[in-house]
Amino acid sequence: MSIFEIIMLVCFGAAWPFSIYKAYTSRSIKGKSASFLIVILIGYAAGILNKIYYRYDEVVYLYLLNFIMVSTDLLIYFRNRWLNGKEDPRKLKVYSAEKDK
């Protein structure tokens, strides 16, 4: 177990509750990127697998906690994208301009 790994995960993890709260209350996807969140999830999944298969210690729970928070942020992103499309049908990909005629 490395104190530096713990500090890194705590620092990264400290930002996610604020991001989740802001995304949930703003109901907007502005400034968010699903692909960025997915890349972060892949990184945390790799960290979890490394801890499980090679060097298991209690730090795996910090990886898991961060993974859950990023997953929550990603789910809120898709919720907000759906809400934004619901408010303005032109933002949905299934919208057809011919329906207005």
Q: How many Cβ atoms sit within 10 Å of the Cβ of residue 70?
A: 24
For the packed helices 3-26 and 60-87, what is the interaxial angle rounded to 10 degrees?
20
pLDDT tens digits for 2-27?
A: 899 999 999 999 999 999 999 999 99
pLDDT tens digits along 25-54: 999 998 899 999 999 999 999 999 999 999
Give the Cα separation of 6 and 51 in Å (integer). 13
| 101 or 39: which leads in pLDDT | 39
Q: What whole-number distance in Å separates Cα of residue 84 and Cα of residue 101?
A: 23
Whether 85 shows a pLDDT value over 60: the answer reads yes
- pTM here? 0.80
pLDDT confidence of residue 93: 55
The Cα 26–Cα 73 span in angstroms is: 13
Domains, the chain:
3-100 (1.20.1280)
- Tell me which amino acid residue 76 is: I
